Amino acid sequence: MLQIFHNPRSRSFRIVWLAEEMGLPYEVRAETLGKPSAEFLAANPSGKLPTILDGATAMSESTAIMHYLTQKYGPTPLALAPQHARYADYVQFLIFGEASMEAQIGQLSTM
């Protein structure tokens, strides 16, 4: 079963939300920010959320996890297939939040 290491004040919220929307069975492994459990560190030694375990597969980048789950457990209307006429737009906006928008938000949070 999919395990999601989660704290509601982190990007792991995206993964829980996606699993709910897709109807995936999953288990939440609650984590305290700044105090990672041994199980969490075994899955992701950097101690960063989100992190998932899907069998022997461990992942820790939210956008990559979302792409992985939609491709592995889809099809789902939440993700367009490469044959879709707007697939390039879908991929562009999937990455935009992390690659472009987050850089600007990160700068605001340090002011």
Q: What's the DSSP call for residue 30? A: E
> CA 27 → CA 30, 80, 93, 98, distances in Å?
9, 26, 28, 25
Q: Structure pTM? A: 0.86
Q: What are phi and psi of 82, to 5 degrees?
A: -55, -25
b/e for 96-105, b at 16 or more Cβ within 10 A? eeeeeeeeee
What confidence tens digit (pLDDT) does each residue in 41-87 have?
999 999 999 999 999 999 999 999 999 999 999 999 999 999 999 99
pLDDT at res. 100: 67
What confidence tens digit (pLDDT) does each residue in 4-54 have?
999 999 989 999 999 999 999 999 999 999 999 999 999 999 999 999 999
